[in-house]
Structure 1
Amino acid sequence: MWNTSVLEELNDAMFLRLAPAIAVFIGLMVVGVVGNIFVCYIFMKKLRKTTQNFLLLCLGFFDLVSTVVGIPSEIWDMRHYYLYDSSPWACKSMRFLTTLPSFASIMVLMVIAVDRYRKVCKPLHGQIHITYAKIAIIAIVIVSVIFSVPALYIYGHRTFQTPLAGVYGHDCSVDDYFRDKSYPLIYEAILASLFVLFTAALVSLYIRIWMETRRHRKYMKTHA
C-alpha cells in the first residue's frame, strides 16, 4: 500500500535520526569542494606542467566531480529515505555520475603510483612523459564510462517494506526489475574485486618505493 502522507512522516522521523550523519556529509562536501578547487587552481595555474602535476590535477578534478555529485546525491537519498520522489532516471544518473569519477580516481592513483615507482626504483629506465599521461587519462575516462554504464540500467526505484505493516516505500537502489536477478550482484562483485586489486597494487608499489628510498638513505649515510 502507498500512503504518501505516512511516508513523508517516516521520512521526517528518519531525517532527524540521520541529521548528525547528514551534517558530517555537508562538512565533508564543503571541505572537499573548497580543497579540490584549490588543488585544481594551484596545479593548473601556479606549477610547472610536469607528469606528476598533470596527474594530480586530474585526480583533483575527478575528486571534485565526485564530491559535487556524490555527496549531495547521498544527502538527498538520506533525506528521502522512504519516499524517493525523483524520477528513476535521476537515480540512474546519480549512480552513474557517482561511479564514474570514483572509478577514474583510483585508476589515476594507479598511474601516479607507477610514475613514482619508475622515478624512484627505475630512474635510468624510460619514464612516463606527460604526453603518455594525457593518453592514459583519456583511456581512464573511456574505461570508467564502460564500467559505469551498467549503473544506468541496474539502479532505479526499489520498493521495500517500511516499519509499518502493509506500507511500502521506495528509494534509489537496485531497480525492482533486477530484484531476483544476478546481474547487480555480479556488477558489484566486479567493482569490489577491481577495488581490492587496485588497492593491493597501490600498496605493493608504495612498499617498493619505501624500501628503495630507505635503501638509498642508508647508502647515503654510509658514504657521506
Structure 2
Amino acid sequence: LKPYPTFSWQRAVSELSQESFRNRLPVVIYLLTLIAVGFFGNVLVILVYVFRFQPSATRSFVLGMAVCDLLTSVVGLPLQLVTIRYAYDTQSLWLCRGMFAAATLPTQSSGVILNVVAVDRYRRICTPHNRQISHMEAWKLVAASVIITSITFSCFIPLYGIHTKEVPGVTVSMCWLHDAYKDTIYPKLYNYVVFVVFYVGLSVMLVAYTFVGVRLWQQNQKRKVKPGVPRASPHPRRKSTRTRAASRTNLIMATLTVCYVINWLPHLIVRLPHHTEPELRVPQNTAKLAPPTAVPLGLLLSASSTSATVRRPTPTMEQKSGPVSSSDDYNLGPTFATPNSESDTTLSDACT
C-alpha cells in the first residue's frame, strides 16, 4: 500500500479552531454587537456628562463607570474574540492573562462603583440634611474603588494561561486555568472571592435601594394634597423640575444596578461551578481532518460542562499490523506545538 503523506497535527487542530469559530458565530455576532453598542454608548455618555452636566458626585460616578465599561468594550471583548478564534491552538500565555485582566478588572471596578452610588443615593434621599459627597470626593472614591479592585483581582491573573487537554494522539491548548494551578486550591479561592464580592455588593445595593424606595414612597404620600386645599410654594415649577430630575437620576442608577446584577448572574450560576475543567466532545463531521488510520480529532469545547467524552476508536487492520506497539496505538507522537519528524515518519510507516 502507498503510504499516506505526513499528517500535521498542528494544521488539523488549527482547522478545528476555525470550525469551532464558525460554530460559535452567534456568540461572535453577539460580542461584536456588545463592542459596537458599548463603544458608541459609553463615548456618548462621556461626552454628554463632560460638556452638558455641572460637576457633581453623580456626574463623577457615571463618568467613572463609563470609562470602565469603555475599556471592557475596546479591550476585553476583542481579546475574548481572539481566544474564541484560536480555541484549540492558543500559544500566547499573555494573551490569555490579558483577556482575563481586561475583562475582569473594569467590570469588577464598575460593580464596586455601583455600590458607592447606592450608598450615595441613600444618603441624599434618606438623610438629605447631612453633609453629602462632593464631586471631588466622588472622584477619590472612584479611584479607591479601581485601586482596591485591581489589587484584589490582580492576584488571580496568573491563574489564567495555557490549559492543555490530552486526548488520544493529540494535545490541544486553550485559554483557561493555567496547567500549573488547575489542581491547586487557588481556583476555588478565586470562586469564593467572586461570590463574596458579588453577594456582599448585592446586599448593600438591595438594602440601600429598599430604603430609598420606602423613603420616596413616603414623600410621595406626603405630597398628595387633599381636594380643595391649595399648595403654597414660591417656585412650584422650579421645585417640580428638581423633583423630576432627582427621580430620573434614582431611576437611572437603579436600572444600572439591575442590569449589572442580571449581567453577572449567568456567570455565577453557570461558569463558576464548572470553573475547573471544560468539556471536549467529538463531533461526527470532523473525522475527515485525520487520515483513515489516524484517530479522529473532532474537539468542541462546551462552556457549561466538566466531563470529557472522547470515544476511543477501534483499531483497524492496518493499525494492528503496523510497527506501532499495541500499548501505543493511540499515542501518535508529541503535541502539535512541538512536531517531531521521527514521530511523523513512524505515523507514515504505520499507515503502509
Shorter-chain-normalised TM-score: which range? Answer: over 0.9
Residues in 1 aligned to 2:174 and 2:89: alpha-carbon distance in whole angstroms: 6
Matched, 1:20 2:23: no
Shift of 1:139: 1.1
2:12 corresponding residue in structure 1: 6
Shift of 1:18: 0.3
3-state SS, counterpart of residue 81 of structure 1: coil
Matched, 1:217 2:223: no
| 1:170-209 superposed matches below 5 A | 170-209=173-212
The letter of the residue matching 2:13 is L
Residues in 2 aligned to 1:150 and 1:171: alpha-carbon distance in whole angstroms: 21
Matched, 1:29 2:35: yes
Asked whether the 8 Å contact 2:93–2:161 carries over to 1, the reply is yes
Residues in 1 aligned to 2:165 and 2:10: alpha-carbon distance in whole angstroms: 14
Shift of 1:184: 1.7
Within the candidate set 21, 30, 52, 1:46 is matched to: 52
Asked whether the 8 Å contact 1:117–1:209 carries over to 2, the reply is yes
Residues in 1 aligned to 2:97 and 2:151: alpha-carbon distance in whole angstroms: 15
Q: TM-score, normalised by structure 1?
A: 0.92
> What is the CA deviation profile of residues 29-63 of structure 1, one whole-angstrom value per residue up to 9, with x for unaligned ones?
10010000100111112211111011101111111
3-state SS, counterpart of residue 83 of structure 1: coil
3-state SS, counterpart of residue 176 of structure 1: coil
Asked whether the 8 Å contact 1:158–1:174 carries over to 2, the reply is yes
Paired residue total? 220
Residues in 1 aligned to 2:80 and 2:107: alpha-carbon distance in whole angstroms: 14
Matched, 1:106 2:111: yes
Asked whether the 8 Å contact 2:35–2:73 carries over to 1, the reply is yes
1:83 corresponding residue in structure 2: 89
1:72 corresponding residue in structure 2: 78
1:141 corresponding residue in structure 2: 146
Residues in 1 aligned to 2:32 and 2:57: alpha-carbon distance in whole angstroms: 33
Residues in 1 aligned to 2:134 and 2:147: alpha-carbon distance in whole angstroms: 20
1:158 corresponding residue in structure 2: 163
Task: Structure 1: state its 5+ residue gaps.
Answer: none
> What is the CA deviation profile of residues 157-195 of structure 1, one whole-angstrom value per residue up to 9, with x for unaligned ones?
000246xx3322111111000021011210222122211
Residues in 2 aligned to 1:200 and 1:80: alpha-carbon distance in whole angstroms: 39
**Structure 1 vs Structure 2 CA RMSD:** 1.6
Residues in 2 aligned to 1:93 and 1:12: alpha-carbon distance in whole angstroms: 22
The letter of the residue matching 2:127 is K
Asked whether the 8 Å contact 2:159–2:177 carries over to 1, the reply is yes
> What is the CA deviation profile of residues 125-172 of structure 1, one whole-angstrom value per residue up to 9, with x for unaligned ones?
12111222122122112102111212331111000246xx33221111
Residues in 1 aligned to 2:193 and 2:98: alpha-carbon distance in whole angstroms: 20
Residues in 1 aligned to 2:203 and 2:85: alpha-carbon distance in whole angstroms: 35
- Larger fraction in helix: 1
Asked whether the 8 Å contact 1:95–1:151 carries over to 2, the reply is no
Q: TM-score, normalised by structure 2?
A: 0.60
Residues in 2 aligned to 1:22 and 1:64: alpha-carbon distance in whole angstroms: 19
Asked whether the 8 Å contact 2:59–2:135 carries over to 1, the reply is no
More moved, 48-57 vs 138-147: 138-147
> What is the CA deviation profile of residues 188-210 of structure 1, one whole-angstrom value per residue up to 9, with x for unaligned ones?
22122211211221122112111
CA 1:219–1:161 in 2, change beyond 3 Å: closer, same or farther?
Answer: farther
Question: Percent identical across equivalent pairs?
Answer: 26
2:244 corresponding residue in structure 1: none
